[in-house]
Amino acid sequence: MADERWFSETLTPGVRLSFEARRVLRHERTDNQELALFENDVFGRVLLLDGVVQVTTADEFIYHEMMAHVPLLAHGEPRDVLIIGGGDCGLAEEVLKHSSIRRVLQVEIDPSVAELARTHFGEINAAAFADPRFELRIGDGAAFVRESDERFDVVLVDSTDPIGPGAVLFTREFYAGVRGRLNPGGILVTQNGIPFLQTREFADAFANLGATFRHVACYVISVPTYFGGHLALGWSSDDVAPLAVSTEALETRFAAAGIQTRYYSPRHHLAAFAAPRYIEQALESAVEQGRKAGLGDP
């Protein structure tokens, strides 16, 4: 068809993944990045930033459920949560499903992304915007954790990849700032890309986390639109080891929460930390490098 349009993800040099756009909803250069929003027959509404897939309405539940419920149920009684990035606000909606939450503060750098999400992604975020516990603040997340004196039980970094405005969110300085914002027993979870394709970025980030926190691990998920193998989510805490909570305790907490999920389960919660060996080896090496560098006080 003469009016067909295709958008390509170009995150990895030498590799291109293309999506047919049945209808283009937005395509523009914002103050921070190139933004493309379109409809695809397989993945629904698709958002790309700087040529990288951020979210699709078809498979967002996988990423958002695992980023939210793993740390929140491991914590046990989270009350205050900080989200850095996460402009589609689907993660905030998952967090707010927990009745123990009294406040979710989200700091998103690009107002265009937040406005677009509210207009076009209501099926995954309308409940968050209707919830008085939710506050969306437009600003620089790195500056916020550096300058704020607020404290949180869980911090979730739902960032773009370490390019453009998202690069600062993978640095030692940023992780040290987050550490200063955590309450005792606090947990940080980070988006750490596809280890198979982003080997150097994965190693650098976990070296910085290893230099900053006492307990560092990652758990993996499979999201169809994030191609190239497993997606890694980083786990960091000075107080809570990733496997310290039993399956029985997680099942009790999950049942009490009354949350309906499509991907998360207590058994999968723990199983996700059993990463393939190549990821496990890369993680161990990176964390050890960070410890030896003496960049922090883990």
Amino acid at site 240: V
Place of tokens 């050890």: 288
Euclidean distance between CA atoms 65 and 260, whole angstroms: 10
Q: Kind and range of the H or E element at 19? A: strand 17-21
Q: Is 140 a known active-site residue?
A: no
Please state, in angstroms and rounded to a whole number, the distance separating the CA atoms of residues 23 and 39: 5
- 19 neighbors 7 (Cβ within 8 angstroms): yes
Closest CA to 223 of 41, 26, 67, 95: 67
Q: Which residue in 69, 60, 61 sits closest to 269, CA to CA? A: 69
CA 227 to the chain's CA centroid: 16
Q: Helix-strand-coil percent breakdown of the chain, rounded to 5?
A: 35, 30, 35
In the block, tokens 């250069």 appear at 29
Token pair for 241: 């080891």
Pairing of strands 80-85, 152-158: parallel
Q: Exposed (0-12), middle (13-18) or buried (19+): which is 38, by Cβ within 10 Å? A: buried
What is the DSSP annotation of 160-209? --SSGGGGGGGSHHHHHHHHTTEEEEEEEEEE---TTT-HHHHHHHHHHH
Active-site annotation holder among 50, 59, 110, 158: 158
- Catalytic residue numbers read 158
